[in-house]
Structure 1
Amino acid sequence: MIRLAINPLTWTNDDMPELGAETPLETCLAEAKQAGFAGVELGNKFPRDAGTLRPILARHDLALASGWYGSRLLERDVDAEMAAAEPHLALLQAMGCTACVFAEVSRAVHGERTTPLSRRPVLSEADWTVLTPRLDEMARRIAARGLRLAYHHHMGTVIETAAEIDRLMTSTGPAFHLLLDTGHLTFAGGDPVLAARRHAARIAHVHCKDVRAPVMAQAKARDLPFLAAVLEGVFTVPGDGCVDFSAVFAALPGYEGWLVVEAEQDPALAHPLTYARMGHDHVAALARRAFAEQP
């Protein structure tokens, strides 16, 4: 079954908490439902225990689609990482999630406001031999908890480019899955349609993020930090940028899971409910045709 969710970044930003700081969680949830969504991902204003979170989401008739976890497997072993991830995994399990959004953030620069993206970390051969077996083991252990590790390639991190995604997927086993983020892969110079075709069988979660091509070109030309590019407006919701979501969905036959509208923008410049509706309606219309069902 295909369901549509939205990330609360539309209303309030995790990496730049001053963006949308004044917006309460209840507004995010009420407007997500008003825009037509069936679920939401976690954000920095969400309580992190199921007993508190469950009735809040129930009031708005929303499910929890998943939530981001940043790992440091280049710096610590799997036992230590599993211990660090335990509260997050327990919350996702208790809330009925099927996937864990998972990204390696060792050495990452995406949250650094003055570090340009050209200085993002690149894995050495020695790093690959450390990271991929640990990621593979994490995926197996998370699978034993009833969740799929959905790896989130991300600008400013060690897995950013299409080539890095391909190597990661060929270096890991069937328990390891991919989160396809259309916006991040486009910004990284990749083709989300090609990636969808190549890895369709192991894509467990999709972030539907659009890109304003002229802003992206300027951000690259000026070698901006990631958050500076966000503030310039590099990302937007589906239907407002250059990503061909019809082709992306066509490359995912048989996909079952969440399609998550996500766009880091300044809510003072991009009215959250307006953009939430725009993203929902664009994705819903295309998903109905691609997956032959009403999301």
Structure 2
Amino acid sequence: MGKTEILWGIAPIGWRNDDIPEIGAGNTLQHLLSDIVVAGFQGTEVGGFFPEPAILNKELELRNLKIAGKWFSSYIIRDGIEEAAKEFTAHCECLKELHADVAVVSEQTYSVQSLDKNVFKEKPYFTDQEWQMLCDGLNHLGKIAGEHELKLVYHHHLGTGVQTEEEVDRLMAGTDPALVHLLYDTGHAYISDGNYMNILEKHIDRIQHVHFKDARLNIMKKCKQEGKSFQQAFLQGMFTVPGDGCIDFRKVYQKLLKHGYSGWIVVEAEQDPDVANPLEYALIARKYIDRHLLNAAATN
């Protein structure tokens, strides 16, 4: 990538969901990748159902698509740094074969994102000792990522111990900027804190990967009142693609451009594909990006 080149991707989670494999199970890899081409995106992230690198690379090459990265559930606090490092090394070896740019890491110790718990009130918290272990562990994983020509990008996420702005602040303060970078996710920031600009403005120097996730305010409020779990909330439609919710991505995009951001911006929205047609919503996102972000930037 050039110094300020931005690559636009869309995550497979709109077609198939790793946490609930039965939804979208009929959407094949070839279908998904071809939809991504039709919608005009340059690549995607690796889904849990994707095949081994040799097979996947062929399908990507046929469509001139790239892989941005892949999610890694770390259990540094639960299992220790050594065990996490062993699993992460294998993860990075796979990503290197796919010519990816980032390894997306989220600490899943005590996470409630796959449990039937109120995601708005029952998120976990780490002790001071656990925070130290997490930060030390992430620094170690960051070195492993670098050895594989990848960047470790940490994903702040609803229902986990690193969710809020304050927790992102603590993680950034406790880790080495050369080893641990930030995945900035608009949707998770907004649902968690009611604000999606603070994390961007405070930590823009650490951001090396971006998720553009929109939110439907009315559904979020309803889910919050009813104490829904993370999975229940997204199945009810709390998340959507840019241009279909309440987040103003123009402010986010302009901030990234002014800072000279270079890397991927990946559209991501957990939705039920039987309710929200994946190609239809990919096209909604593409139209919004072209009209309100790219065209606006070109005229400024």
Q: Which TM-score band applies after superposition, normalised by the shorter structure?
A: over 0.9
Aligned equivalents of 2:88, 2:181: Cα separation in 1 = 17
Could you say if the C-alpha distance between residues 130 and 60 of structure 1 is closer, same or farther in structure 2, counting changes exceeding 3 Å?
same
Q: Distance in 1 between matches of 2:282 and 2:78?
A: 37
Q: Which of residues 118, 141, 145 is equivalent to 2:144?
A: 141
Is 1:62 aligned with 2:65? yes
Q: Which position in structure 1 is the counterpart of 2:29?
A: 25
Q: Which amino acid aligns with 1:116?
A: N
Root mean square deviation of aligned Cα: 1.6
Q: Deviations for 1:44-100, whole angstroms, at most 9, x for unmatched residues?
A: 2211x3212110111222111111011000023333212112222112112111211
For these two proteins, the number of residue pairs brought into alignment is 291
Instruction: Say yes or no: does 1:181 pair with 2:185.
Output: yes
Indicate if the aligned counterparts of 2:88 and 2:141 stay in contact, CA closer than 8 A. Answer: no
**Cross-structure match for 1:221:** 225
Query: 1:97-125 CA deviation, whole Å, 9 max, x = no partner?
Result: 1211110011111011x222122211122
1:102 matched to which residue of 2?
A: 105
CA contact 1:215–1:232 (8 Å) conserved in 2: yes
Among 239, 243, 268, the alignment partner of 2:274 is: 268
Matched, 1:251 2:255: yes
**Aligned to 2:76, what secondary structure does the other structure show?**
coil
Consecutive unaligned residues of structure 2, counting only runs of 5 or more, are none
Counterpart-to-counterpart distance in 1, 2:269 and 2:102: 20
Instruction: Give the match for residue 116 of structure 1.
Output: 118
Q: Does 1:83 align with 2:86?
A: yes
Cα gap change, 1:258 to 1:287, in 2 (>3 Å): farther
After superposition, give the CA deviation of every residue in 1:231-269 in whole Å (9 maximum; x if it has no partner).
110000001111111111122221101110010111111
Residue equivalent to 2:155: 152
Q: Given residue 197 of structure 1, which amino acid in structure 2 is its aligned partner?
A: E
Offset of residue 176 of structure 1? 0.9
What do the CA deviations read for 1:145-191 (whole angstroms, capped 9, x no partner)? 21111000111111111110111111111121000011111111242
- CA offsets 1:10-43 (integer angstroms, 9 cap, x no match): 1111111111011111111111110001101111
Deviates more, 1:116-125 or 1:228-237: 116-125
Structure 1: state its 5+ residue gaps: none
In the TM superposition, residue 126 of structure 1 has moved relative to its aligned partner by 2.2
Instruction: Report which stretch shifted further, 282-291 or 165-174.
Output: 282-291
Residue 284 of structure 1: CA displacement? Answer: 3.8
Residue 153 of structure 2 aligns with an amino acid whose one-letter code is A
1:206 maps to 2:203: no
Q: Which moved more, 1:77-86 or 1:143-152?
A: 77-86
Identity %: 36
**CA shift in 2, pair 1:21/1:189, >3 Å:** same
The match for 2:74 is 71
TM-score by length of 2: 0.93
Moved over 3 A (4+): 284-287, 289-293
Distance in 2 (alpha carbons) for counterparts of 1:284 and 1:160 = 30
Instruction: Using structure 1 for the length normalisation, give the TM-score.
Output: 0.94
Deviation at 1:140, TM superposition (A): 2.4
Q: Which residue of 1 aligns with 2:284?
A: 278
Q: Which amino acid aligns with 2:226?
A: R
Secondary structure of the residue aligned to 1:155 is: coil
What residue number does 2:11 align with? Answer: 7
Distance in 2 of aligned mates of 1:283 and 1:139:
32
* Distance in 2 of aligned mates of 1:292 and 1:274: 26
Q: Secondary structure at the match of 1:149?
A: strand
